[in-house]
Chain A
Amino acid sequence: KPLDYRKPAAYRSDETQTPYEKATSYNNFYEFGTGKDDPSEYASKLTVDPWTLSVEGMVENPIKLDYDALSGRFALEERIYRLRCVEAWSMVLPWTGFELANLLKLAKPLSGAKYVAFETLERPSQMRGQRSRFTGGGVDYPYVEGLRLDEAMHPLTLMAVGLYGKTLPPQNGAPIRLVVPWKYGFKSIKSIVKIRLTDQEPPTTWNRLAANEYGFYANVNPAVDHPRWSQASERRITSGGLLSRNRIETQLFNGYAEVAPLYQGMDLTRYY
């Protein structure tokens, strides 16, 4: 379904974008299976309307958004972001959405709130990966993620409801997902049903699965390798076959240098 949105100049890009067909057929969404093509094959069954996204926890004003409010409550804009996966591939994608900050400001976080916890839908009847430990990669569902409040309030942090100007396909996280472009892709949690403000660092799915490989922060950082592979470079998936020379250097914070002040004085090799 097409969406109405503005195209702010600050978030345009002249980088080659990943074609829609590739962005919608190469996904990590273990709720539908661990293969890259499993989500596009099995996610079409997911019904996203009706939907409820609730904002709760340490807020003055708890909010519930229904399906229409997800794309109707806030003015939408298109932002072209780089997406860097922890598996060392990357894409360039035009998301449609609104800043998470707008939603959080509406909910009015209490002064003690320090973190934001996110939760994906749990619906085994439509998500085959949640029915079997084997299909779902051994993940404890529902999938959970988290950000520090200042990260969540950063203007780059987007709640996306669309891709390439249309509502999100289920395999890309319909009806609403997070996009944090300076962090590895697994932080950008899909199909969100709950946002909870808290004063404690919330657990995150991949950190629970392998704490030595995936930290809470998961900032894109070429200097901090994954224990099993280098993060110094990445392969940019656009179009072209085997011979396209698409390996490029990975940039600190995925090239979004404006977030650096969030991590001033932090040892990024320790808080990976």
Chain B
Amino acid sequence: MRRLLKRPLRLSRAQVFVGKLGCHCIIAGLLGLTFFFGFTDQLGADPVDTLINFTGRNAIHLLLISLLVSPAAKHIPCGDIMRFRRMLGVYVFVYALAHFLVYVLFELQLNWALIFSEITERPYIVVGMLALLLLLAMTATSFKRIQQKMGKHWHRLHNTIYLCVPLVLLHFSWSQKTLFADPLVYWVVAAAILWLRKDKLLRLIPFNK
């Protein structure tokens, strides 16, 4: 076992392909299945509430997992797990987008006046929208060719993922009726994950080179 761990584990193209396929099945499959149960009224008393929670929480779960990939790649002898990071990042956006669509389509039910006033006047919605726009920008520029074209700017844009963490957690906490609720646990976990990246984060702060 020890010998096995000493030698870096390289993943073949086939292994990466199978691994990604499995992730797609689980992450996209779960999303599709939950929507199916929602359409057929099998999601508890209020399917809209259940779906908003499901998509929102899992977007945060995926965000935190995607942030764990790079520190994990440094500490376990399998740097190839980095090849899964982009897929996870795109799924953060997919879940966040689903969360937004459930809110607009099924919670506010396309009442445009209400959608406009809620998105512009309610601070916790504004904060969530900001994070969604950042995720959109990162997803839109996630192709290799665009990455090469953007060069340094690409990294600057994609480092805003660290800004997304407090934004989405603020959105989550702020949406609750009371402070003493689940989001507190998320803040603690997120702080621990960001602590792993403290060196990088300190470098990102301007004037601290």
Interface residues of A (CB under 8 A from B): 21-23, 25-26, 30, 34, 36-37, 87, 89, 133-134, 136-139, 209-210, 228-230, 232-233, 235, 237, 239-243, 245-247
Q: Which residue of A lies closest to B181 (CB)?
A: A34
Question: Roughly how many angstroms separate A242 CA and B184 CA in the complex, as a whole number?
Answer: 29
Residue tally, chain B, CB below 8 Å to A: 36
> Is the Cβ of A137 less than 8 Å from the Cβ of B39?
no
Determine how close the nearest CB of chain B comes to the CB of A128; give it in whole angstroms.
13
> Is the Cβ of A230 less than 8 Å from the Cβ of B118?
yes
Determine how close the nearest CB of chain A comes to the CB of B126; give it in whole angstroms.
11
> Is the Cβ of B45 less than 8 Å from the Cβ of A22?
yes
Complex contacts, A26 vs chain B, CB 8 Å:
44-46, 49
B159 within 8 A of A: no
Question: Roughly how many angstroms separate A242 CA and B111 CA in the complex, as a whole number?
Answer: 15
Question: Roughly how many angstroms separate A239 CA and B39 CA in the complex, as a whole number?
Answer: 11
> Is the Cβ of B111 less than 8 Å from the Cβ of A89?
no
Q: Which residues, 152 to 175 on B, are CB-close (under 8 Å) to A? A: 174-175
> Is the Cβ of A237 less than 8 Å from the Cβ of B46?
yes
List 15 additional A-B contacts (Cβ < 8 Å) besides A210-B178, A228-B122: A23-B45, A26-B46, A34-B178, A34-B181, A36-B44, A228-B123, A228-B124, A233-B114, A237-B45, A241-B39, A241-B40, A242-B38, A242-B47, A247-B108, A247-B109
Q: Which residue of B lies closest to A28 (CB)?
A: B177
One of B35, B41, B181 near A239 (C-beta < 8 A): B41
Question: Roughly how many angstroms separate A33 CA and B42 CA in the complex, as a whole number?
Answer: 23
Assess A243 versus B107: contact at CB under 8 Å? Given A36-B45, A87-B177, A136-B180.
no
26 sample A-B contacts, Cβ–Cβ < 8 Å, listed by A number: A25-B44, A26-B45, A30-B178, A34-B178, A34-B180, A34-B182, A134-B180, A137-B177, A138-B179, A139-B178, A209-B178, A210-B178, A228-B123, A230-B117, A230-B118, A235-B46, A237-B45, A239-B41, A241-B39, A241-B42, A241-B43, A242-B47, A243-B106, A245-B109, A247-B108, A247-B111
B51 within 8 A of A: yes
> Is the Cβ of B177 less than 8 Å from the Cβ of A240?
no
Complex contacts, B123 vs chain A, CB 8 Å:
228
Question: Roughly how many angstroms separate A240 CA and B176 CA in the complex, as a whole number?
Answer: 26
Assess A138 versus B178: contact at CB under 8 Å? Given A228-B122, A229-B118, A239-B41.
yes
Complex contacts, A133 vs chain B, CB 8 Å:
180
Complex contacts, A228 vs chain B, CB 8 Å:
122-124, 174-175
Determine how close the nearest CB of chain B comes to the CB of A19; give it in whole angstroms.
8
Complex contacts, B106 vs chain A, CB 8 Å:
242-243
Question: Roughly how many angstroms separate A245 CA and B124 CA in the complex, as a whole number?
Answer: 25
Interface residues of B (CB under 8 A from A): 35, 38-49, 51, 102, 106-109, 111, 114, 117-118, 122-124, 174-182, 184
Q: Which residue of A lies closest to B41 (CB)?
A: A241
Question: Roughly how many angstroms separate A111 CA and B117 CA in the complex, as a whole number?
Answer: 47
Q: Which residue of B lies closest to A23 (CB)?
A: B45
Determine how close the nearest CB of chain A comes to the CB of B145; give it in whole angstroms.
37
Question: Roughly how many angstroms separate A89 CA and B184 CA in the complex, as a whole number?
Answer: 25
Complex contacts, B38 vs chain A, CB 8 Å:
241-242
Complex contacts, A230 vs chain B, CB 8 Å:
114, 117-118
One of B42, B48, B175 near A235 (C-beta < 8 A): B48
Question: Roughly how many angstroms separate A212 CA and B43 CA in the complex, as a whole number?
Answer: 33
Question: Roughly how many angstroms separate A26 CA and B44 CA in the complex, as a whole number?
Answer: 8
Determine how close the nearest CB of chain B comes to the CB of A18; give it in whole angstroms.
8
Assess A137 versus B107: contact at CB under 8 Å? Given A36-B45, A229-B122, A242-B51.
no
Determine how close the nearest CB of chain B comes to the CB of A85; give it in whole angstroms.
10
Complex contacts, A240 vs chain B, CB 8 Å:
41
One of B40, B43, B177, B184 near A134 (C-beta < 8 A): B184
Q: Which residue of B lies closest to A186 (CB)?
A: B177
Q: Which of A25, A136, A210, A247 has the most B CB atoms < 10 Å from its CB? A: A247
Q: Which residue of B lies closest to A89 (CB)?
A: B46
Question: Roughly how many angstroms separate A239 CA and B118 CA in the complex, as a whole number?
Answer: 26
Determine how close the nearest CB of chain A comes to the CB of B67; give it in whole angstroms.
25
Question: Roughly how many angstroms separate A235 CA and B6 CA in the complex, as a whole number?
Answer: 58
Complex contacts, A87 vs chain B, CB 8 Å:
177
